[in-house]
Amino acid sequence: MSELGRHPGDLGRRVRHRREELSLTRAEVANRAGIEQAMVAYIEEQPASVSAEIVLRLAYALDLPDYSLLGSDADVPPEFEGHRPRLDVLAEHECWRLLDEQGVGRVAFLAEPDDLPHVLPLNYAVRNGQVLLRTRQGSLLETTVHRSPRGCPASFEVDHIDDAQREGWSVLLRGLAMPDDTAQEPAAVEPWAGGVAVRPLHLTPRMVTGRRIFVT
């Protein structure tokens, strides 16, 4: 296991502690939350930053209020007393700057046969106003994208939450995911799972939005 894997973030520790307290497997938590088991493993093993929607789903699955899962029911540090959180809308260029600094996000798409939303964590790279992705050949995402000659409607979300500072940001891209068979940068995105056949994809956003929360 990698160094990061040995040192999960605060959210991951709380999720794992509560899951073990309830004697649940990762698969059972994923089923309750309506997310992939790989996402539960990622959150527990990595210093993960996840969307508010995923936090709410996990809180429901683990029978906890979301603020407790995030640790906000702990005592407020003295330096934050009397201060209020502020929410700002990010300009598009700032969204791209933040995206370029990260390497893991979540792609959301609808897939047959159930036509239900799926959310998958993937590593990525930014290129000329597009997000480069790589997925396993034959995966649900790869199959869905290749069935959509005009592009598969998809969203891509990246965020960062700092529990200690009570700050964070999120960026959401909404657009079309398409095969990227002509990609000129085959090594731009290295999949975590080595030794598997991968297919390059790219997401071209039609909308780019972002928000930042911080304490004033």
What are the structural domains of the chain? 3-69 (1.10.260.40), 80-215 (2.30.110.10)
Contact 208, 96 (CB under 8 A): yes
Q: Tell me the pLDDT of the chain averaged across its residues.
A: 79
Cis amide linkage into residue 78, ω under 30° from 0: no
pLDDT of res. 155: 95
- Give whichever of 68-77, 100-109, 197-206 has the largest mean pLDDT: 100-109
Q: Which residues pair with 4 in a beta bridge?
A: none
* Residue whose token pair is 């999120």: 170
CA gap 189, 210 in Å, rounded: 23
pTM of the model: 0.59
pLDDT at 143 over 60: yes
Given pLDDT bands bounded at 50, 70 and 90, which one contains residue 6? Answer: very low
Q: Look up residue 198 and give its DSSP letter.
A: E
CA gap 27, 35 in Å, rounded: 9
pLDDT of res. 203: 93
